[in-house]
Amino acid sequence: MKFVDEVRIKVASGDGGNGAVAWRREKFIPRGGPAGGDGGWGGDVILVVDPQMNTLLDYRYIREHRARSGEHGRGSDQNGLSQPALELRVPPGTLVKDAATGEVLADMGEACPTFVICKGGRGGLGNMNFATSTNQAPRFAQPGTKGEEKELQLELKLLADVGIVGYPNAGKSTLISRISRARPKIADYPFTTLTPNLGVVGWRGKSFVVADVPGLIEGAHAGAGLGHQFLRHLERTKVLVHLVDPLAPGEGRGPRADLDAIDRELALYSKELARKPQVIAVTKMDVPEAEEKLALLKKSFARRKKKPLILAISAVTGEGIDPLLDQVAKVLRGEEPGKERLAKKKVGKPRSRASR
Ligand SMILES: Nc1nc2c(ncn2[C@@H]2O[C@H](COP(=O)(O)OP(=O)(O)OP(=O)(O)O)[C@@H](O)[C@H]2O)c(=O)[nH]1
Ligand SMILES: [Mg+2]
């Protein structure tokens, strides 16, 4: 299915129908009195979250959505028909903005499953409503009010708990296909994945949503490769799995250089993204030269006081996948990645304090 994450649409609610001016005219009933019915209400436009959707593709094709207007009132005390609301379904994670001002009107998701974006016009009252003892034949009725019209910018930011980042060809899609039922295209060339894939991972009684986004490369902030256009889908994640390709072919590349380049790109996109906890994993460990590259990568952090936890996995053989998911689950519970090491160091401190 085609993936679309940004669209501009026009929506309009229905106008209210006018109230009618009419008179009761029947044989043998002189001065029958006012009999104009009320106008019906125009339909609202309502946005409704549909958890089955994960693209705004439908709105690419149909860009104007109008609810129907209420019917006008009629004679013989007949009210016009009110119109049902027009429901527009959107995927969870859709940000609804006013296209002109950029103001966020709604953030569609679990907290906001439905949202009335345009209220339908009110139906006008017919002249039968205005009869009083002093004015028994009102020659006026109320007009219906106009519906609203808005131009909206819909932006989809996928609701995933975990994002997989890394260079193209690192094995991101292979990993998501290993841990979930997502079946993205996998191939031995860069930029196989051109749009994000989502997968649901069930792990030790819990489940979380993982997003495999297209690969990042050095200079993506300036438009290299696919640029930063898909990074918005990582904004709502709670943890990033930073996948490192030990083979890293090409000039200026290598596990450590790749790791730093991706981190730079994330930071150039936003501070928040750069601050997200990461679980670093070197993949393709089934390949013979991987072991040596992993050792080199670990060595490159030797001088650091706080060494990052680097996991070793193979999405092909399944090696190291369980510890990886454990780490991810841990961060999702709100703990720091690789906390065991830190915890061990901390144990010494309180003891020394107590002995003082
Ligand atoms: N030996 C081995 N090969 C792997 C492993 N994971 C991925 N590959 C291979 O690496 C190549 C790229 O894998 P993909 O999963 O398509 O990589 P990707 O990161 O999604 O790449 P893009 O979509 O282009 O960004 C494919 O030929 C995979 O078969 C692994 O654990 N071991
Ligand atoms: Mg891929």
Instruction: Kindly state if the Cβ of 170 falls inside 6 Å of ligand 1.
Output: yes
Is the C-beta atom of 289 inside 6 A of ligand 1?
A: no
Q: Which residues of the chain have pLDDT under 70?
A: 1-2, 338-356
- Residue 338's pLDDT is what? 63
Distance of CA 38 to the CA centre of its chain: 42
Could you read off the pLDDT of 166-222 as tens digits, one per residue? 999 999 999 999 999 989 889 888 888 888 888 899 988 888 999 998 988 888 887
* CATH code of the domain made up of 1-156: 2.70.210.12
For atom 25 of ligand 1, the residue with the nearest CA is 168
User: 192 CB less than 6 Å from ligand 1?
Assistant: yes
106 contacts 96 by C-beta, under 8 angstroms: yes
Identify whether the C-beta of residue 26 lies closer than 8 Å to the C-beta of residue 131.
no
Query: How confident is the model at residue 133, as a pLDDT?
Result: 87
Nearest to 190 by CA among 267, 257, 249, 263: 249
- Give the model's pLDDT for residue 38: 93
**Domain boundaries 162-348, corresponding CATH code:** 3.40.50.300
Which residue owns the Cα nearest ligand 1 atom 6? Answer: 171
How does DSSP assign 178-210, residue by residue? HHSS------SSS----S-EEEEEEETTEEEEE
Distance 195 CA to ligand 2 centre (A): 9
Please tell me the predicted confidence (pLDDT) of residue 26. 86
Sequence-separated (6 or more) residues with CB below 8 Å from residue 263: 242, 274
* Every domain range in the chain assigned CATH 3.40.50.300: 162-348
pLDDT at residue 30 in the model: 84
Taking the chain, what is the end-to-end CA distance rounded to the nearest angstrom? Answer: 66
For residue 172, the ligand closest to its alpha carbon is 1
Q: Which atom of ligand 1 is nearest to the CA of 317?
A: 31
286 CB within 6 A, ligand 1: yes
117: closest CA among 136, 90, 144?
A: 90
Q: Which residues of the chain does CATH 2.70.210.12 include?
A: 1-156
pLDDT on residue 327: 92
Q: Is ligand 1 within 6 A of the CB of residue 53?
A: no
Whether 171 lines ligand 1, by a CB cut-off of 6 Å, is yes
